């Protein structure tokens, strides 16, 4: 049985965001829509991913570390799935189910007994805002106030989100992006500060770094940091997807999106792929970057990313071990080969495919729904 599972901690902690706009950042209430577009490949992948939800309405993931396996409810990837479905404008009733399931188990995800996990809280608020739910009463929690409470009020780190946890502060740019986008959508007074801090995490080259400076650092910007920033396309793509729907609400966001788009285009290989420093070329990175480029109106580049993903998607003609997995997307070429040889019924193997699909399937679409603020 194949036990080859890529390192997916960053994937599981990552996030899929909301739909977006063209590269001129004129979001408003405009719609790219899906009329006349062939989104069948994306919808097939979405339906396959939905088939992996538990009876409770959330995704369950199995991982292995130092020879020990662990199966857990993956709230973050479940939110990723819901937001990706919204961008595709597909299966809205299932999105409602996922949102309800998150509300039922919210404390497990965002923190309880005095623990406040800033990134998960902001990510949950992004889904609440997207679904038009009550941010002041979701799962028995004033989620807006919870996220606002993670935003630093003064000093060099003003606008920065931080965890309140016995385990330390693991807030990063992904959580900051969720906070900036979600707080804007719910009309929070903290939105401007959170967004301004997020924009400071964009490096001179155009990419957004993942790790934030320590809260007490005098210079909180990427270019002012005393360490080199990791250049992962996933991070920049996710920030683009979160900022694009609210670009007209904040000064400087349009320019930041343009610079991010230019940087992403420079990272694309001739075969349409993108690679991250830790895991090389993979479906998550290609999918997120392709999705972001589609949102920015870079359709030719997005098409090339989609073509690479389509070549690693299981089609109707598939035979053998994967014949019943139509729509699934392999993490990479080796993952596809292993799946065809061994199948993906083992929880470890299947989890890799689920995590790949949930962040990749919107990139297969020819058009996405814009979810700009009303």
**Position 354 in a domain:** yes
The angle that helices 253-267 and 233-243 make with each other, rounded to 10 degrees, is: 150
Place 2 in a pLDDT band, splitting at 50, 70 and 90.
Answer: very low
Lowest-confidence segment of 23-32, 173-182, 202-211, 248-257 by average pLDDT: 23-32
pLDDT at 34: 43
In a domain, 371, yes or no: no
Which residue do the tokens 């359709």 mark?
Answer: 299
In this structure, is residue 247 part of a structural domain? yes
* pLDDT per residue as tens digits for the range 20-76: 223 333 333 344 444 458 999 999 999 999 999 999 999 999 999 998 999 999 999
Which structural domain range is residue 359 located in?
A: 9-364
Token digits of residue 174: 């992904």
**229-238 burial by CB neighbour count: b if 16+ within 10 A, else e?**
bebbbbbbbb
In a domain, 373, yes or no: no
CB 192 within 8 A of CB 250: yes
Report the Cα 200 to chain-centroid distance in Å: 20
Q: Which helix (H) or strand (E) holds 275?
A: strand 275-276
Burial class from Cβ neighbours inside 10 Å (0-12, 13-18, 19+) for residue 151 reads buried
Q: How far apart are CA 342 and CA 126, in angstroms?
A: 38
Map tokens 């098409």 to a residue: 303
- The H-or-E segment that residue 221 falls in is none
What pLDDT is attached to residue 296?
97
pLDDT exceeds cutoff 90 at 345: yes
Q: Which pLDDT value is given to residue 33?
A: 45
pLDDT of residue 372: 52
Query: To which residue do tokens 């270019």 refer?
Result: 223
Q: Which residue has the higher pLDDT, 139 or 374?
A: 139
Average pLDDT of the segment spanning 90-100: 98
Q: What is the pTM of this model?
A: 0.90
Using pLDDT thresholds of 50, 70 and 90, give the confidence band for residue 370. Answer: low
Residues 6 or more apart whose CB falls under 8 angstroms from that of 283 comprise 309, 312, 329, 330, 331, 332, 356, 357, 359, 360
Residue 371's pLDDT band (cuts 50, 70, 90): low
Tokens of residue 202, six digits: 């964009």
Q: How many residues are recorded in the chain?
A: 374
Within a domain: residue 2?
no
Q: What is the pLDDT of residues 271-321, one digit of tens each?
A: 999 999 999 999 999 999 999 999 999 999 999 999 999 999 999 999 999
Distance CA 170, CA 103 (A): 23
Residues 6+ apart with CB under 8 A from 243: 177, 180, 181, 195, 198, 253, 256, 257
Does any domain span residue 331? yes
Which has the higher per-residue pLDDT, 220 or 25? 220
What CATH number has the domain bearing residue 241? 1.50.10.20
Predicted local confidence at residue 37, as pLDDT: 82
DSSP string, 115-169: -B-HHHHHHHHHHHHHHT--TTSBTTB-HHHHHHTTB--SSTTTT-B--B-TT--
Q: Does the pLDDT value for residue 4 go beyond 60?
A: no
**């495919």: which residue's tokens?**
353
What is the average pLDDT score of the chain? 90
Between CA 154 and CA 106 the distance in angstroms is: 29
pLDDT at 369: 80
What is the per-residue pLDDT across 66-83, written as a single tens digit (0 to 9) for each?
A: 989 999 999 999 999 999
Reported as a single tens digit per residue, the pLDDT across 114-173 is 999 999 999 999 999 999 999 999 999 999 999 999 999 999 999 999 999 999 999 999
pLDDT of residue 36: 56
The verdict on residue 372 lying in a domain is no
Alpha-carbon span 149 to 163, nearest angstrom:
10
10 Å CB burial of residue 84 (0-12, 13-18, 19+) is buried
> Per the structure, how many domains does the chain have?
1
198 token code pair: 């997020």
Round to whole Å and give the CA distance between 120 and 222: 23
- What are 360's two structure tokens? 């990749």
């Amino acid at each position: 049985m194949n036990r080859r599972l890529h390192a997916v901690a960053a994937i599981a902690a990552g996030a899929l965001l909301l739909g977006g706009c063209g590269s001129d950042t004129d979001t408003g209430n405009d719609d790219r829509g899906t009329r006349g577009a062939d989104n069948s490949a994306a919808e097939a992948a979405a339906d396959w991913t939905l088939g992996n939800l538990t009876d409770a309405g959330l995704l369950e993931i199995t991982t292995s570390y130092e020879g020990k396996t662990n199966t857990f409810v993956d709230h973050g990837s479940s939110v990723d799935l819901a937001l990706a479905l919204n961008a595709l404008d597909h299966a809205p009733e299932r999105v409602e189910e996922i949102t309800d399931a998150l509300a039922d188990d919210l404390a497990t995800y965002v923190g309880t007994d005095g623990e406040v996990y800033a990134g998960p809280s902001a990510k949950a608020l992004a889904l609440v805002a997207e679904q038009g739910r009550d941010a002041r009463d979701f799962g028995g929690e004033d989620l807006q106030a919870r996220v606002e409470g993670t935003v630093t009020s003064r000093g060099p780190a003003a606008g920065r989100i931080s965890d309140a946890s016995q385990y330390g502060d693991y807030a990063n740019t992904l959580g900051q992006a969720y906070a900036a986008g979600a707080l804007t959508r719910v009309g929070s007074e903290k939105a401007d500060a959170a967004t301004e801090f997020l924009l400071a995490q964009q490096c001179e080259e155009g990419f957004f770094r993942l790790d934030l400076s320590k809260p007490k650092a005098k210079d909180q910007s990427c270019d002012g940091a005393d360490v080199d920033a990791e250049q992962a396309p996933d991070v920049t793509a996710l920030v683009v997807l979160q900022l694009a729907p609210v670009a007209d609400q904040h000064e400087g966001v349009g320019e930041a999106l343009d610079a991010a788009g230019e940087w992403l285009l420079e990272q694309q290989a001739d075969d349409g792929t993108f690679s991250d420093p830790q895991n090389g070329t993979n479906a998550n990175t290609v999918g997120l970057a392709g999705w972001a480029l589609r949102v920015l109106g870079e359709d030719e580049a997005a098409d090339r990313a989609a073509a690479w993903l389509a070549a690693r998607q299981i089609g109707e003609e598939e035979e053998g071990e994967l014949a019943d997995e139509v729509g699934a997307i392999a993490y990479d070429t080796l993952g596809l080969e292993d799946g065809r040889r061994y199948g993906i019924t083992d929880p470890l193997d299947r989890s890799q495919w689920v995590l790949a699909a949930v962040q990749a399937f919107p990139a297969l679409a020819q058009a996405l729904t814009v979810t700009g603020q009303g």
